[in-house]
């Protein structure tokens, strides 16, 4: 009998967990997804990413979940790295999570016409949710460096980023501004046709990338 892997999905700053629904549906039945939202009543008092990691570490649904991987979008991926310092699980998957201050290349929400449906939906969600968050947190996400968290992590780490129309993968990877050893530690997948929300802009390709990152031993050696 095939064993279903259990995944915990975390949203990013100004987002709801519903952003993961299209991708989570594509991962069934091999993966069982738990989509977690941040506590609305506490957000204004969460001034640092560490506060989100501490909240996760105290949540029974997280500590008792026995998840095979925690997948976080943007800030959610950083919170997953912080959680990994106190809670053991096999893998973290970063989705558009920036370990160094994001360069202008990465400072866009979606790729393509501004009138497309995903852009409209994302903009409305961010406009509604962002005022709940601390301005100090927003500053940390723009200027903070989290390379040390990733370098020190004991679990496996994978990462997914949108190409934003760039044809050269080396160009995209270079703009992440990581130290070279981090590229040896973290397996990076690039998703065409999207920017900051690959799970909505190109859900099938993003789901395939996450599936492969969760089971890298099944990849062709030439990949």
The DSSP line for 56-78 is HHT-HHHHTS--SEEEEETHHHH
Q: Name the burial class of residue 97, with classes exposed (0-12), middle (13-18) and buried (19+) by CB atoms within 10 angstroms of its CB.
A: buried
Evaluate whether residue 222 is within a structural domain: no
Evaluate whether residue 221 is within a structural domain: no
For 60-79, letters b (16+ CB in 10 Å) and e give: eebeebebbbbbbbbbbbbb
In this predicted structure, what is the pLDDT of residue 2? 56
Q: What pTM does this model have?
A: 0.93
Rounded distance, CA 51 to CA 46, Å?
A: 5
In this structure, what are the phi and psi dihedrals at residue 157, rounded to the nearest 5 degrees? -130, 135
- State the chain's maximal CA–CA distance in angstroms: 49
Is the pLDDT confidence value at 219 over 50? no
Question: If you average pLDDT over residues 42-55, what whole number do you get?
Answer: 98
Evaluate whether residue 212 is within a structural domain: yes
In this predicted structure, what is the pLDDT of residue 92? 98
Rounded distance, CA 137 to CA 133, Å?
A: 7
- Structure tokens that stand for 126 in this block: 């961010």
If you count DSSP H runs as helices and E runs as strands, how many of each does the chain have, helices first? 11, 6
- Structure tokens that stand for 187 in this block: 């397996």
Average pLDDT of the residues of the chain: 93
**127: CATH:** 3.40.50.1820
List, for residues 175-215, the tens digit of each pLDDT value.
999 999 999 999 999 999 999 999 999 999 999 999 999 97
Question: If you average pLDDT over residues 91-103, what whole number do you get?
Answer: 98
Our count of domains for the chain comes to 1
DSSP of 29-42: TTEEEEE----GGG
Rounded distance, CA 191 to CA 146, Å?
A: 23
Evaluate whether residue 99 is within a structural domain: yes
Evaluate whether residue 10 is within a structural domain: yes
Rounded distance, CA 152 to CA 164, Å?
A: 29
Is the pLDDT confidence value at 82 over 90? yes
Rounded distance, CA 195 to CA 97, Å?
A: 12
In this predicted structure, what is the pLDDT of residue 217? 56
Full residue range of the structural domain in which residue 80 is found: 5-216
Evaluate whether residue 188 is within a structural domain: yes
Evaluate whether residue 147 is within a structural domain: yes
Other C-beta atoms within 10 Å of 145: how many?
Answer: 12
Distance of alpha carbon 6 from the chain centroid: 16
In this structure, what are the phi and psi dihedrals at residue 64, rounded to the nearest 5 degrees? -100, 5
Evaluate whether residue 56 is within a structural domain: yes
């Amino acid at each position: 009998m095939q064993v279903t892997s259990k995944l915990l999905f975390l949203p990013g700053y100004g987002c709801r967990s519903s952003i993961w629904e299209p991708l989570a549906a594509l991962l069934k039945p091999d993966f069982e997804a738990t989509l977690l939202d941040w506590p609305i009543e506490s957000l204004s008092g969460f001034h640092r990413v560490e506060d989100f990691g501490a909240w996760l570490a105290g949540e029974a649904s997280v500590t008792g979940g026995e998840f095979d991987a925690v997948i976080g979008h943007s800030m959610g991926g950083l919170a997953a790295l912080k959680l990994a310092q106190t809670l053991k699980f096999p893998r973290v998957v970063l989705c558009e999570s920036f370990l160094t201050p994001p360069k202008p290349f990465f400072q866009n929400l979606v790729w393509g016409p501004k009138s497309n449906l995903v852009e409209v939906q994302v903009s409305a969600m961010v406009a509604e949710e962002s005022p709940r968050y601390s301005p100090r947190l927003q500053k940390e996400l723009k200027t903070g460096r989290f390379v040390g968290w990733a370098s020190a992590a004991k679990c496996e780490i994978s990462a997914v980023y949108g190409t934003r129309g760039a044809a050269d993968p080396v160009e995209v990877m270079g703009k992440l501004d990581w130290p070279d050893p981090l590229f040896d530690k973290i397996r990076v997948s690039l998703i065409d046709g999207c920017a900051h929300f690959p799970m909505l802009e190109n859900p099938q390709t993003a789901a395939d990338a996450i599936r492969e990152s969760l089971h890298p031993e099944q990849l062709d050696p030439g990949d």
